[in-house]
Amino acid sequence: MLAALLPWLLLLAPGAGMAAVAPVAALTSEGAIGPATADYISRGLVHAEREGAQLVILRIDTPGGLDTSMRTIIKAILGSPVPVVTYVAPSGARAASAGTYILYASHIAAMAPGTNLGAATPVRIGDTSEPKEPDDRPGAPTSSSRDNKPDKPSTQAMTRKQVNDAAAYIRGLAQLRGRNMDWAEQAVREAVSLSAQDALRLHVVDYVAADLRDLLQQAHGRKLALPGRTVTLDTAQAPVFDYRPDWRVSLLAAITDPSLALILMTIGIYGLIFEFMNPGIGVPGVLGAICLLVALYGLQLLPVNYAGLGLILLGIGFMVAEAFLPSFGVLGIGGVAAFIFGAVILIDTDLPGFGIPTALIAFIALLSAALIAALAGVALKTRRRAVASGAGLLIGAQAEVVDVASGGGWVRIEGELWRVACTEPLRRGQKVRVLARDGLLLRVTPQDDFQGRLP
């Protein structure tokens, strides 16, 4: 009887038949976009799908980042079965350069008041010169005449290719999401920026929301087209769970920091050198190998100039060679110069957050030079030190006769027995001095007759 009434009791229960509201996943990205950011966002989207989230909100505040990392994030967003909202927050944040592309790729774009986006012109690698402003003075060359000058044609062609590719890429994202294509291309070609309210007015973003809950209220009931289906957001009362960066993201962010990668590489090379100089210690070799491998892993995720990497290795090699070769400082000075030049050009981009501070380069170079100078000083002192062991110490050494024979006998020197020859008769217990050595035979004289007898 109870079993027959159970379905009716469930239907009459408060809230029965109402499906639970799916949660919303929140990701946070601050700072320059790099390999660690791409890994975090990609895994965050997978985690949101696994947890059954109906929406992912990506809060960003970035000055830009690497093109490869940006494209990895965009691919993850475009292929995500969970819709993504890119939310530029909090107030005062920005989505410059790579952040603008990510915002255009998202299903919903939103900004907090007091934020901005834009300046999406790709940074020209290897050329930090700024574009010249037009000169309106009488007689000044026109824009067309300047463009016709054969000034760095290869650089200009490469720049045009990069800008055209970036413009086509962001126009494609704008067409996909139904956003302002003209302004998107202008952001790439002219590096323009927009405030939050202007972005809303020009249909660059969908919402301006003061906080996360305000954004969820505005997005409630919106229909979004996903591959193979259309979803309607139910976010007014949806619970929000934060997916924070874990230790893996923190570790990847640390080892892909160019400054730390340079330090680890330097430690690794010196560790291996010290292990080769003193085989069997173990600690320098193990530590050096680990640091070098971690540094190389981090560098291969970054836009590395291999000429700079080669100069760093050459510079360290020269500085080490200075300690063992009589070059009178030529190798050491050349090594320091090669290391500095290599470190300056090691990272092949001018993007913010991926440069190596000049102070760090100078510190490592000076520390390396001081270390090599100290090694050279120790080697020089060792060279000048008197011989402390070997056959050279036998000449003039005092010995005690332990056995006698015709024309000589046996003596004890520093715990060793040696056969000796002497022009005078010897007796046991007598003190003698070594005059010369012939192979395994020592020529000795009594202690009293030693002065003036050395050859």
pLDDT tens sequence for the chain (455 residues)? 444 444 434 344 444 334 578 999 999 999 889 899 999 999 999 999 999 999 999 999 999 888 889 999 999 999 999 999 999 999 999 999 899 999 999 999 999 999 999 988 886 433 434 444 444 444 444 434 444 444 445 567 777 888 899 999 999 999 999 999 999 999 999 989 999 999 999 999 999 999 999 999 999 999 998 888 889 999 999 999 999 888 888 888 888 888 888 888 888 888 887 787 777 777 888 898 899 899 888 888 888 888 888 888 888 888 777 766 766 667 777 888 888 888 888 876 666 666 788 888 888 888 877 877 776 676 667 666 665 555 667 787 888 899 888 888 999 887 788 889 988 888 888 888 888 888 888 888 888 765 555 44
Range(s) of the chain covered by CATH 2.40.50.140: 391-449
Which contacts (CB < 8 Å, 24+ apart) does range 278-285 have? none
pLDDT at res. 162: 85
CATH 3.90.226.10 domain span(s) along the chain: 21-124+159-246
21-124+159-246, what's its fold? 2-enoyl-CoA Hydratase; Chain A, domain 1 (3.90.226)
Distance between CA 133 and CA 223 in Å, rounded?
45
pLDDT given for residue 155 in this prediction = 61
Write the class of the CATH domain 391-449.
mainly beta
Residues near 276 by beta carbon (within 8 Å), at least 6 away in sequence: none
Q: Which helix (H) or strand (E) holds 27?
A: strand 24-30
DSSP per position, 328-359: TTHHHHHHHHHHHHHHHTSB----TT-PPPHH
What does the pLDDT read at residue 102? Answer: 95
Type of residue at 109? A
How far is 411 from 421, CA to CA, in rounded Å? 10
The token duo for 177 is 């999401």
Cβ atoms 129, 225 nearer than 8 A: no
φ, ψ of residue 437 to 5 degrees: the values are -130, 130
Q: How far apart are CA 301 and CA 65, in angstroms?
A: 13
Rounded distance between C-alpha atoms, residue 83 and residue 294, angstroms = 36
Give the HSE-up count for residue 432: Cα atoms under 13 Å, Cβ half-sphere: 33
